Amino acid sequence: MELAPLMITLQTAGVATVATFFIGIGLALMVVRMNRFQGLADAVITLPLVLPPTVVGFFLLLLFGKRSTIGSFLLQFDITLVFTWKAAVMAAIVVSLPLMYRTARGAFEQIDVNIIHAARTLGVSDWRIFWHILLPNARAGILAGLVLSFTRALGEFGATIMFAGNIPGVTQTMSTAIYAAVQANDYDLAGQWAMIIVAFSLVFVVMMNWWINRQNKGAALWN
């Protein structure tokens, strides 16, 4: 069994999750603080969660394809995205972002707004409030978002195959490898990859639950 799909999947999901972490938290803070168009912004960011991944992949193709404005601009610097590893990472980011964004936003909204007001009237800068008050008090939610986005990125299929293709050794992840194996009538190989994905996802979700339970024990005492 070739191990490349496993390595590519882990790398893609890992890099995508790091990006999703920062972008998702940033977007969550931005939307929480919006006075107008909050609903619209929320809908746009959440859309990849409810759209068929093939639609997301199709839009990514349109947006970053060689004939698009962005694609032809990048081509001047000899950068192509479509059917590369970078494209697989981008697809994973877009698809997993709503999960990070929504859980982070929920966690931030749980924080008593008076605590933030109090910190500001006591002279604490917004930057210190973010690192020392918002993040620590939202960590259970943020961690849940992190695990959910990572497992979502692990299993990403539709957008990846549209935008990054299914090139063995380059963009073939575990889930696209299963598709290729089934098409080649190799059910044993497909089954092995399926088991590995199930095992990975299970381990991560169990770890998340364990962590959140531990956090909640602390949190319950806070009240």
Partner 1 sequence: MELSVDIEKKLRDFTLRADFAVKDEVFALLGASGCGKSMTLKCIAGIETPDKGRIVLNGRVLFDSEAGINLQPQARKAGYLFQNYALFPNMTIAENIAFVASGDNVEKERKVQANLARFKLTGLAQAYPHELSGGQQQRAAFARILAADAQLLLLDEPFSALDSYLKWQLEMELGDVLKEYDGAALLVSHDRGEVYRLADRIAVINRGQMEKVHSKHGLFQDPDTLAAALLTGCKNVSSIKRIAADRIFAEDWQMELQVAADIPAAAQFAGIRAHYIEVKTQVGENTVLVEVVSVVEDVFSYLVMVRKKDAGACPLRLELSKAEWLQLGNPKELYLHLPKERIMLLNP
Nearer to partner 1, 66 or 120 (CB): 120
Instruction: DSSP for 35-47, please give it.
Output: SSSHHHHHHHHHH
Indicate whether 221 belongs to the interface with partner 1 (CB under 8 A). Answer: yes
Q: Does 32 bind partner 1 (CB under 8 A)?
A: no
Say whether residue 7 binds partner 1 (CB under 8 A). no
Looking at 118, 195, 203, 206, which residue binds partner 1 (CB under 8 A)?
118
Q: Does 222 bind partner 1 (CB under 8 A)?
A: yes
Does position 112 interact with partner 1 (CB under 8 A)? The reply is yes
**Residue 10 makes contact with partner 1 by CB under 8 A:** no
CA distance linking residue 64 with residue 73, whole number of Å: 10
Considering the rule CB under 8 A, would residue 123 count as an interface residue with partner 1?
A: yes
List the one residue from 122, 127, 185, 188 that touches partner 1 (CB under 8 A). Answer: 122
Residue 133 is given by DSSP the state I
Distance CA 116, CA 135 (A): 12
For partner 1, the binding residue among 35, 69, 76, 114 (CB under 8 A) is 114
- If we measure between CA atoms, which residue out of 218, 142, 196, 160 comes closest to residue 16? 160
**Of the candidate residues 39, 62, 79, 117, the single one contacting partner 1 (CB under 8 A):** 117
60 to 1, 67, 76, 139: CA distances (angstroms): 31, 12, 19, 32
CA distances from 137 to 46, 67, 115 (A): 24, 46, 11
Of 38, 72, 110, 125, which one interacts with partner 1 (CB under 8 A)? 125
CB of 17 to partner 1, least distance (A): 25
Number of H helices, E strands in the chain: 12, 0
* Gap between the Cα atoms of 188 and 143, Å rounded: 35
Given the rule CB under 8 A, which residues bind partner 1?
112, 114-115, 117-125, 132-133, 136-137, 221-223
